[in-house]
A and B are shown apart, each in its own frame.
Chain A
Amino acid sequence: MARVESILRIEDVVKKFGEVAALDHCSFNIEPGSITGLIGPNGAGKTTLFNLITGVLRPDSGHIYFKGEEITGKKPHEIARKGVGRTYQIIRIFPKMTLLENLIVVGKGKEKRVIERAMELLSLVKLAEKKDDNASELSFGQQKLLSLAQVLMLDAELVLLDEPAAGINPTLQNELMALIHQLNREGKTFIIVEHDMNVIMGHCGSAIALNYGQKIAEGTCSEIQNDECLLEHYFGR
């Protein structure tokens, strides 16, 4: 069967917290170069899925493959070094370190090159002037941008963004989404968890909907929008 190898393949993944199944036999593929929205109500299992992909949690059963290689049960730092980056819903940067340090510490290789790359990325997210400030001094939206720059410093091929647009002003939101499209054109694959359906519909090529840990719909954004089953679950109709 000749087809493009999926960059990420989730196969029959189950994760239970006690009796509650946060993910219940969930399977899907992500194609390289795509921007996929991950939607679903609170508690649907979106963040759990990110935690499983990045190795923060281990699935009870099922398999996760990145570029054809099984990464199930690997350590978070190993998965990150293979090229999977993520941001967190609650921002998790290194507050008492400078912006430059926040990036340098992620970089690998020659020191001079790492610093150059860190400065490029700070310019890209328009924070170059603040390079010697502590990250804790940034505004909420700027911290989100810094967190994205860290993932780019890691040079991740697959980037998982947990509510990147939440809580930041519309201007910054537009800049952020423009940046995501630019990086996508350069070859990066994105999975975005977002509650704002306008962000999903406006920016993602396809979407996957979860509820109670199960995939309830998958397809292009227009398909999703017209999916009766999903509308019932998600929009309460």
Chain B
Amino acid sequence: MKALLSEKNRIWLGIFVLMAFLISIPFFASDYWITLLTLILIFTVYSSGWNVFSGLTGYTNFGLAWSIGLSGYVSSLLIADYGFFWLFAWPVGAIFTGIVSIGVGYILLRIKGVYFAISMVALTEGTRELFGTKYLKTVTHGGIGVPFVAGIGLSTLYWAILVLAFFTIVICYRISFSKFGLRLLTIREDEQAAETLGIHTTREKIIAFILSAFLVGLAGSIHFTYQNYIDPSFAFNIQLTLTPIVMTLFGGVGTVFGPLIGATLFTFIHEILWAELTLLYMAVFGGILMVLILFFPQGLLGWLKERGILPRSRKI
């Protein structure tokens, strides 16, 4: 019997059904579920954004919170003090972060390995201090933070992050098998060899860094609009860097869908542990992480690919 649909069309149908389901969720699900999914999607964008730069180039970015916080701050201040509509404030924050990233990338992407990672931590901590000082209080409100109301409902916010997460994954998918994606991989593999084969590694690194900062920045803007509050220690918190990295390791570094799967599983496991083992959950969680890193360093998708359960394609 002839198959009703080709494999490609079946995949498209699957994506369509999944998206229709996700879009319809606010019509029947409780606020708890919408909130949980919103957080999963925010962290999916953080993780994918981290992965598209660090997972492909091998430059470990320990300053993800810097892009999240900077864009979050710009958009929050625009909404709180300048009466911007949220839909306009978000991209302004992300574009601002992207532009600053050009300078940061140009300076810091000459430093390799652990030194780059540390310099990004230092940048994040420095920016946190800067936003809390009394000298910038007229602009940033200083350390007391910025409470604000953006006038956006939970459902609308959920749809917004759903659209962003969808496009983020589409972008990562397109990059995964493009020549740009391959050029980023050569930086991870052997940067000097890539240079002597005519690849302009500095340019490629900076482009990926800006793209990452922009996507993560957009999600950061949405995140703080959702919280209705921002302050320096909250915006530039190291947790916002570490959690997406762990999620990506969990799902598979350098894969397309690893960050999505990692963010989803991580959040659910976190929720269950929190609800069932409130006092022990951090200890159990730490244990699970150690097992994963020891036995599945390539992440869930990497492991499945290695076992031949999934095809060894860059498109997954």
Contact = CB atoms under 8 A, between A and B. Distances in A.
B182 A56 contact: no
Interface string A139-172: 0000000000011011000000000000000000
A77 interface: yes
Contact of A105 (B182, B196, B200): B182
A81 B179 CA distance: 17
Interface in A121-145: none
A86 B182 CA distance: 20
Contacts, number: 69
Contact of B196 (A86, A94, A108, A111): A86
A233 interface: no
A75 B195 contact: yes
B239 interface: no
A88 B194 CA distance: 12
Given A94-B185, A104-B182, A105-B183, A154 B198 contact: yes
B interface secondary structure, majority? helix
B192 interface: yes
Interface string B177-219: 0010011011011101111111111000000000000000000
Interface residues of B, number: 18
Interface of A: 54-56, 75-77, 79-81, 85-86, 88, 92-97, 101, 104-106, 108, 111, 150-151, 153-154
28 contacts: A55-B195, A55-B196, A56-B192, A77-B199, A77-B200, A79-B196, A86-B196, A92-B193, A93-B189, A93-B190, A93-B193, A94-B185, A94-B189, A94-B190, A94-B193, A94-B194, A96-B188, A97-B182, A97-B185, A97-B186, A104-B182, A105-B182, A105-B199, A106-B197, A150-B197, A153-B197, A154-B197, A154-B198
For the complex of A and B, the 9 pairs showing the least CB-CB separation, nearest first, are: A80-B198, A94-B189, A92-B193, A76-B195, A105-B182, A81-B198, A77-B200, A106-B197, A76-B196
Given A55-B196, A76-B195, A93-B190, 12 more contacts: A55-B195, A75-B195, A75-B200, A77-B196, A81-B198, A93-B189, A93-B193, A94-B189, A97-B185, A105-B197, A106-B197, A153-B197
Interface of B: 179, 182-183, 185-186, 188-190, 192-201
